């Protein structure tokens, strides 16, 4: 039971990261020491699993995909989505700079922990790190200002692209949804509507058609997730197993580049970075929150190291 609860907590941490633009849930999974385990489980949704299900070999299914681990992590991720949507919306609306400062600290220290997965930094690793940084920079500079689009094919595409943040450390799926213009629809409106407190209001009122529309959008979005997970997970597993240091060197550069996405001192409407002036106490608080973010990840990494094999 203790192990089950620990995995739920890990799922909550990953889930919170997944819904914040600029934060990568898979980066936190790396820090927690469960990233490779998750990728390995995803790649086991294969023909063998279908055969086990066909033969009603439930014990075999349970062992093949580490079902207890998968269920507990999923409970944590889903719970965080339901619990945090309203809170994060409030924090970004009223305390945006402080919120980004805290998350900047989290990602800043995370890049150092991910770099430790590189066995030795040779010239090729440094070059790949620079390439990872440049790719992240290119994504940051891409600012098409696209608007909300409920077309189901486009929603499926958003699901396919957005889930990459759950597979690739340093890549924020939520930020990609921002660039595609559908973040508010897919990670804000739907999460709030499907909050248990709001479902009853929709079903008992005159908005049942709207609820059905959002439910269809949500299902198509999840199907996009499944498609991308099945398509890319094996490639990622191969890269980690065959080119571990080079893969994590690239991801380290990518994560460092993603710091640009969440830099607290930024023009509110444009991707123009500014420097802190310390002309008022607000900048001091922001720096303190960055340090708090450092401390948070140090604590999370300690937990991940302690329970890495559970």
For residue 175 the two structure tokens come to 């930020």
For residue 220 the two structure tokens come to 């198509």
| 266 phi and psi angles, rounded to 5 deg | -145, 150
Cα separation of 16 and 39, whole Å?
Answer: 19
Domain-by-domain residue ranges, the chain?
2-306
Looking at residue 13, its pLDDT comes to 87
Neighbouring residues of 185: CB distance < 8 A, sequence distance ≥ 6:
148, 149, 150, 217
Cβ burial 210-246 (10 Å sphere, 16+ → b, else e): ebeebeebbebbeebbeebbeebbeebeebbeeeebb
For residue 87 the two structure tokens come to 């809170």
Cβ atoms within 10 Å, residue 286: 21
- Give the mean pLDDT per block of 10 residues along the chain (310 residues): 84 86 82 87 87 88 89 88 75 85 88 89 94 87 69 90 81 78 75 65 68 85 88 86 90 87 75 78 92 88 65
Number of helices (H) and strands (E), helices first, in the chain? 17, 0
pTM: 0.77
Looking at residue 156, its pLDDT comes to 93
Looking at residue 201, its pLDDT comes to 67
Looking at residue 239, its pLDDT comes to 87
Looking at residue 144, its pLDDT comes to 59
Q: Which of 251, 305, 308, 291 is nearest to 106 (CA)?
A: 291
Helix axes 2-18, 67-94, angle to 10 degrees: 40
Cα separation of 136 and 270, whole Å?
Answer: 17
Assess contact for 27 and 164: CB atoms under 8 A: no
Q: Which of 225, 301, 220 is nearest to 29 (CA)?
A: 301
Cα separation of 36 and 29, whole Å?
Answer: 8
């Amino acid at each position: 039971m203790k192990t089950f609860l620990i995995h739920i907590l890990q799922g909550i941490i990953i889930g919170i990261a997944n819904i914040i633009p600029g934060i990568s849930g898979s980066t936190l999974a790396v820090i927690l020491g469960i990233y490779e385990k998750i990728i390995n489980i995803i790649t086991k949704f294969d023909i063998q699993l279908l055969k086990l299900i066909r033969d009603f070999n439930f014990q075999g299914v349970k062992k093949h995909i580490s079902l207890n681990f998968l269920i507990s992590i999923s409970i944590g991720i889903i719970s965080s989505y339901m619990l945090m949507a309203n809170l994060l919306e409030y924090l970004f609306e009223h305390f945006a700079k402080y919120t980004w400062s805290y998350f900047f600290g989290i990602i800043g220290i995370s890049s150092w922990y991910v770099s430790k997965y590189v066995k030795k930094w040779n010239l090729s690793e440094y070059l790949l790190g620079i390439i990872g940084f440049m790719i992240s920079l290119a994504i940051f500079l891409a600012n098409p200002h696209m608007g909300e689009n409920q077309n189901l094919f486009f929603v499926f595409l958003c699901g396919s692209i957005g889930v990459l943040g759950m597979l690739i450390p340093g890549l924020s799926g939520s930020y990609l949804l921002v660039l595609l213009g559908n973040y508010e629809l897919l990670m804000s409106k739907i999460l709030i509507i499907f909050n248990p407190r709001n479902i009853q209001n929709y079903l008992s009122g005159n908005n049942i058609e709207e609820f059905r529309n959002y439910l269809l959008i949500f299902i198509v979005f999840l199907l996009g997730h499944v498609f991308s997970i099945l398509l890319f997970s094996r490639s990622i597993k191969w890269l980690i197993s065959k080119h571990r240091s080079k893969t994590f060197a690239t991801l380290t550069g990518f994560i460092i580049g993603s710091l640009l996405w969440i830099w607290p001192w930024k023009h509110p409407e444009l991707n123009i970075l500014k420097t802190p002036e310390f002309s008022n106490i607000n900048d001091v608080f922001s720096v303190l929150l960055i340090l708090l973010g450092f401390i948070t990840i140090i604590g999370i990494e300690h937990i991940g190291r302690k329970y890495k094999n559970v």
